[in-house]
Amino acid sequence: MRLAATYPVSVVCAVLGYPRSSYSYRPRPPDDTALKTAIQEVAGAWPRYGYRRITAQIRREKQWVVNHKRVRRVMSLLGIQGQCPRRKRRTTNSEHSFPRYPNLVLNLTVTYPDQV
């Protein structure tokens, strides 16, 4: 700033209505390299784990205080997902040894509520 040579930064910021802390603030992206390697280790050992369980495992193993949202973001950057459990297909098994009962309401005409 050209005015910083003549006036102090606090005065210039007060006149402009700009926070003094924002004048010298330079945002830095977080360094996630250690977290990336930890996530890859845990996901390699337990491929079915999702972001919640990986977060808990990192907290347990590495003793890190890490947020689940950060773990989820890094996992999506790495392209890691937990494997979904396979759905078991349930079908009717008609080839059983149990007796089959006749349908008693097949020819019944329902005339009032709660008849069947």
Is residue 13 assigned to a domain?
yes
Residues 9, 37, single domain; the answer is no
**Alpha helical stretches, state H, 1-116:** 9-16, 20-23, 33-45, 51-62, 68-78
Is residue 109 assigned to a domain?
no
DSSP state of 79: T
Structural domain including 14 reads 1-26
Closest Cα to residue 61, out of 35, 30, 32, 24?
35
Cα(4)–Cα(23) distance, integer angstroms: 11
Is residue 68 assigned to a domain?
yes
Is residue 61 assigned to a domain?
yes
The predicted structure's pLDDT at residue 3: 65
Residues 5, 36, single domain; the answer is no
The predicted structure's pLDDT at residue 4: 65
Residues 11, 44, single domain; the answer is no
Cα(107)–Cα(22) distance, integer angstroms: 83
Closest Cα to residue 80, out of 48, 34, 33?
48
The predicted structure's pLDDT at residue 59: 96
Total tally of structural domains belonging to the chain: 2
Is residue 94 assigned to a domain?
no
Is residue 3 assigned to a domain?
yes
pLDDT averaged over 10-residue windows placed end to end, the chain, 116 residues: 76 88 85 94 93 96 94 95 83 83 87 87
Residues 21, 51, single domain; the answer is no
